[in-house]
Every structure is written in C-alpha cells, then in structure tokens.
Structure 1
Amino acid sequence: MFRLVDIADFSRDGLAPYDPSGAPVLVTHVERMWAVVTGRQGDRVACLLDNQPYATHTSLEVLDPLSVPLTHLIATGDVRPELAEHLAFAERMAAQDERPAGSATPVDPGARPRIRSDQQAICDRADVRAEPPSPFGLALLARDVPGGSGVLQGARFEPAPERRDTGWVFFRGDDFEAVSQTVGFDIVTVQEASRAHPDILARLALPVGWAFSVGDGVDDLYEVELVD
C-alpha cells in the first residue's frame, strides 16, 4: 500500500482540482499496487512495481525497483515462471530511464497532472485543463452501453461528493430522459464504466461541463450547460 500525491477530485476529496490561480490542488491518498518480488533482504523484499499508479503527482513508474517491509505486504499472488525474462526487460527499461533519481525524483507540485497520453491528447484537443476522476468515483452508465451499437454520449455534470459521484453520465442516443425511462441506468465506478466501452477511458479527464459524442464516424467534444 502506497501513500501518493494526487490532484484533488470532487467525488473523493470534496475539493476542486485547481485553485483560483490555476495551480493544482494536491492531496494524499492510498493506492494498492502489485509488485513482482525478486528477492528477500532480511525483513524486506526487493520488488519491481507491476502497475502504473493512478496518482498524478508521483514519479513512480511500472518496473521501478522497490524495497518493501514484509509488514507492508497485504496479499501475495502466484510465482512468475517468466521471472528471468521479466528481469531482463526491466533492466533494458532502466537503461532508458531519464529521471535523475529514478522513482525518488521530486515532482513539481505546480506541474499539470500526469495522466494517460490518450487522456491528455483529448484535453489538449478541447484546450482544457485535465480533471481526472478517482477510478473508484461513481458514474451513471446506461444498461445498453456494453455491447451496444450507435453513437456513445458522455457528459460530465456537477459532481456530488456526498455520493462519491464524479458527474459522469454515459448513454446511447440523443435523449437522456428517454434513455432513463426505457433502458435505464446503473450506478458504477468510473473504472467499471471505462471497461464497458473502449472509447470512455480516453475521455474521462475532461472537466466538469464538458461532453463527447463518439461512434459511427462521429468524434465530437463540446461544452454542456450546467443547471441546478
């Protein structure tokens, strides 16, 4: 379990992601992450990080070497039969690492949030600051989105922190009310929503007040009116 620095998220922290000057508002939170154990050193284990943190202001990367106290391990998985190949790949990647101090390289607190490259490309296209939601924040997902066809609509309205709501709504068709009365919606995590349709993940960092339409030759980004 790692305590990392992340840009604030309405649904998780009840805080705006940026202050009035435009600087990121930073918070700490805990992420559970997998690592590949490569050896033991007394009461610690040597590991290679095995997933990318969600946090926006950490320099930790996949394959970073770690020394973790045994008391910090919360679960174990299976033996990796391909460990030798994994270590060789990690060594090649380490040779290309341009961070002066590796995973310990300080992160500028005023830097824009580090997010997926496809998410940053969408925000750059809309010319907006990224507001990445917590993967465990909640969203509304129409029941016909997984496996359905036609144009996918996504809109991010004002979040409700007391409900862990990120403000995101995803549906097909042009009429939200009609979808609500016929197809219906499920409340899911943002992580679950991103697995329901391949075009959702790249657009999740769009800020509150933005929407998208994608599919059947359509790929639009636009602002939506926020009403109480």
Structure 2
Amino acid sequence: MSDLTGLRAVITGGGSGIGLATGLLMASRGARVAVLDLAPTGVPAPLMGFQADVADETSIHDAVLSAAGALGGIDILVNNAGVGAAGTIADHLDEEWLRVLNVNVLGVVRTTRAALPYLRESEAASIVNLCSIAATAGLPRRALYSASKGAVLSLTLAMSADHVGEGIRVNCVNPGTVDTPWVGRLLDAADDPESERAALEARQPTGRLVTADEVAAAIAYLAGPSAGSVTGTALAVDGGMSGLRVRPAPSRSERPLRP
C-alpha cells in the first residue's frame, strides 16, 4: 500500500513497541517518519530518530522543531509516549500521580502544542492519541493509569471539537493488553509470570494479547486519507474486551455428548 505517500509523520515513544511498529508501517506505506523517544539510538532506517522527553516542555518543543525541519513539515502526529502504573488509589503517593499524569496527559498537550503550527499548514492534518481500554472499562489495580487514559479520551474529544474547523482531525486508539516490552516487564516481575499471562489473555474474548502491529494498523488507518471523515472517535483494538461478554469455553467434562 502507498496511501500515506508524501505525508510527514511524527511519533512520540517511537523507539519500541507500538510506536516503533507504527513508524515502520507508516514508512512502508510511503510516509516520511520521525520518531521521538528518550533513547532513539538504534531506530532503524528509514525512520529518523530524535531524543525527546514529553515530560519536559523545552525538550519536546526542540525535538518537534527539529523533526519538522527534517521532514519539511508535519501532517500526522501520533501521541504514543506513555508510562504505566499498577495499584489502587491507596498504593501511590501524590508524587507518582503527578509523574504519570505529567507524561500521559500533559505529554500529549505539550507535543500537540508544539506541532500545531505545522499541522495548521497541512492539507491532510491528523492527530492520533494512544488511549486505552482502561479509559472505558474498570480494570483492577489500574486506578492511576485509568485516570490518565480517561483524561486522554476526554482530551481527544475536546481537541477534535477545537480543531475540526482548522482541518485537523483528532482521534484515539484504545488498545487492550498489548504484547509489548512494557507488558513483558510487568509479567517478569509477577510471582507467577505464566499464570499472569494466561489471566491477561483470558480476559480478552479472543483469548490472546493484542499485537503491536494490530494497534499500528488502527493508528495508520485513523491517520490516513481513508479516514478523512473520521474525527472525535475512539477505536478499540482490544480483542472484543470493551463490548463482548462471552462465556468461558466449557471443559471437556462439561461438553454435551454427541449422539
């Protein structure tokens, strides 16, 4: 496919996981892609890597400026950078709340604010924010993370309303549990990694984790011209978790005998 030919994309958190998968997919479809990351060394060609910290105003402003200069402008912004948090509201002090919200919410604000002058000059401007199923479903031990992603969902709608008149579409993708290095680290830290992985797989009706490539495909769709009439939308890529209530498969002893 070459549906993104000629478009210029900036992706935060693009050094690994969903961000890297998105960058490679967009590049394969003809886009020129700059990835912003805390450690962009080793980003494969044809992607261009720029060091940036979305939690720091000066850092992200300078990185967006450099990326826009290298690309000759910006048509697509993917706000992918984020951090996780596990626990109830009793498990984190204010400092941790402020750290996560600073990255997951204000990181979107800072990066978008820096990119807006370039997006306003584009004839095919699009922003895709990385949200989560945690924004719409109550998940255990995800209070802080869910609050941050709930804010991203609301922010996406508000941004879409604010900028639709400028020709800038704004949408978000709500992944379920994605098989990324971050999830891998969480599993490694669990008392029983195999059981924890099985539990994460079982809570998605498809019975498996979402892949980074599947989320990247959704991002590329929303960012591209095929979604020209799509704005203010949250696209779930969660194996049916947000909407389906399927019964677990019966054990062999529970299956009816065939005549």
- What TM-score do the two structures reach when normalised by structure 2? 0.23
Q: Which of the pair is proportionally richer in strand? A: 1
- What TM-score do the two structures reach when normalised by structure 1? 0.25
Q: Which of the pair is proportionally richer in helix? A: 2
Pair member with larger Rg: 1
